[in-house]
Amino acid sequence: MSDDLWILSYDVDGQDRVTSVRVAQVIFGRRNTTTRDGRPATHDQEGFIHRPGVVWVGQSVLILPRDDALELRARLEGLGASVGMGRLVINAYNLRAFRRRRRNRRDRAQLAC
């Protein structure tokens, strides 16, 4: 079995764009632009989905190690999102079914047919 995994779902009022954007940045990351020595410089700030062991299942649902789940819940609730979570028991083989893989354009076209 995979060690101490938790499933977390969150919801933000669709009318609250500011909170929706902030939540998306926490989950998916963002690109920051600043100035260094008078020149613009950018760097990527990774989101929770980039952490080891985190699986983005789909819309508003993630599978995470316990410590990451607790941290994410606190951050999302601090932003005003509704959060639900619970312990998940799943073996590594079945967990792989939820890992997202990039599909190329040809794969997507075949799925559409």
**Residue 11, token pair as written in the block:** 């919801």
Beta strands in 1-113 (DSSP E): 5-11, 29-36, 39-46, 55-58, 61-65, 82-88
Three-state secondary-structure class, residue 51? coil
pLDDT at 12: 95
The pTM of this model reads 0.76
Over the stretch 17-76, which tens digit does the pLDDT of each residue have? 999 999 999 999 998 888 888 888 888 889 999 999 999 998 899 999 999 999 999 999
Q: Which residue has the tokens 């009022």?
A: 13
pLDDT at 38: 86
* Number of domains present in the structure of the chain: 1
User: What is the C-alpha to C-alpha distance for residues 14 and 26, in angstroms, rounded to an integer?
Assistant: 17
pLDDT at 64: 95
pLDDT at 2: 54
Q: Print the domain residue range for 39.
A: 5-112
User: What is the C-alpha to C-alpha distance for residues 77 and 32, in angstroms, rounded to an integer?
Assistant: 23
